Structure 1
Amino acid sequence: MVRPVIGITTSRRSGWRIFPLMALNVWMAGGRARRWTDRAPAHVADVDGVIVGGGDDISPDLYGGQVVTSARLDPGRDALERRLVLEAFDQGLPVMGICRGSQMLNVALGGTLHQDAYDAYRDSDRHRTILPRKTVLIAPGTRLAAVAGGAPMKVNALHSQAVDRLGRGLRVAARDRGGMIQAIERVRDPFAIGVQWHPEHLFYARRQQGLFRALVAAAKASRQRRSQMQRVDAGAE
């Protein structure tokens, strides 16, 4: 079977560094990657699934919040990614959000963010490293638990924002030990999952590979017009 194409959004400034690593993860999972930025055409009709990658903070203008002085914004990318998420769902394509991408998934579906996550969650461990030093607790019975295992997970952390009020059709899939939301997911087709950490940097970890495998499995099911959730669940068994 031809590998499904996964469109990956990246920053104009730093995407050239991270895209090869994202593409490697997608290839290892059975797909092939296409890079998108806000300076070139990006159409969901050209792909079978979408990854919204990490990067700068999301503007609070998208959800009625107040900007903090430390925020670094990218309004062009905000507009691109919000459009792509909504179009992907309209076309029944699976979506994975990574860090900023998880936040965009939530915002695009009507949710809100904590602009300063660690001010809102004073008991959360504050790490800023690509090394897996932060512990997240996976909610039992979630799809995240099925594809990556239900035991506490060591992840990396580079974020300053976090999900506050959930968007439409989403549920919490993981929190850290201080209660901050670390993963969200849809409960029905099309498949969508968002993680606050950066699994692309942890490509050597089987549990992180499970996230990319789930997305590619859902993309294959979408191409065949079959149930994405059933395909993901079958692969997790």
Structure 2
Amino acid sequence: MPTYSTWKDVQLPDFNPQSTSKGAREVLEWAYRSYGGKVVYSCSFGVEGIVLIDLIYSVKKEASVIFLDTDFHFKETYELIRRVENRYPKLHIIRLKPALTPQQQAEKYGDALWARRPDLCCNIRKIQPLAARIGAYDAWISGLRHEQSPTRRSVAYVNRDEKFHSVKICPLIYWTWDDVWDYVHSRQLPYNPLHDQNYPSIGCTFCTRAVKPGESQRAGRWSAFDKTECGLHLNK
């Protein structure tokens, strides 16, 4: 277990991206060896999330997984979670709900907040619930990959997370889109069928659309705004 006193004191280890898993398995083995039950995976159940769940389960079957249930996810996402629970019965999936129901949010901020102030909607329905829970852990795991967007290219395997005052662990940073899908097919893993309909990144129904030919993988997220991140991974 860690011997340092705060998240700022953690010694950031390095791993070999040339290993068979591009470092992912070694990172996860280190994470659970170092933090035990004090590390949690925050998962949106996109295809990267399914890969990480499968890898995590091979390292620690009783691992904890947080799902930020905004109340606005696609029905396919909720169905996928049920399939994951059946395949990985020892996994502990924690569904975090916002403090406000959709009706309460509409009463306080007006209808369709996501269409007018998407940053505020994300803050209420994602960032605040995670911030309220993440303090119970010493570290958290994320499925970020360098290839996904310019804002993610500086992410390391292990990072000091200024936003949540925690340690953020990113095992898949060197994986490509093809790596992800090769793993899914080789292991015959369940995944969200929306991925087969040009949805490489899947979030809430109101803020996600299919990606057009030639667009980036995150072009379908908040496409009406100058926004590609919900804020969870912006380190400020």
The TM-score with structure 2 as length reference comes to 0.29
Higher relative contact order (CA 8 A, sep 6+): 2
Q: State the structure with more CA Rg.
A: 2
Higher strand proportion: 1
**Structure 1 or 2: more helix by fraction:** 2
Q: Normalising to structure 1: TM-score of the pair?
A: 0.29
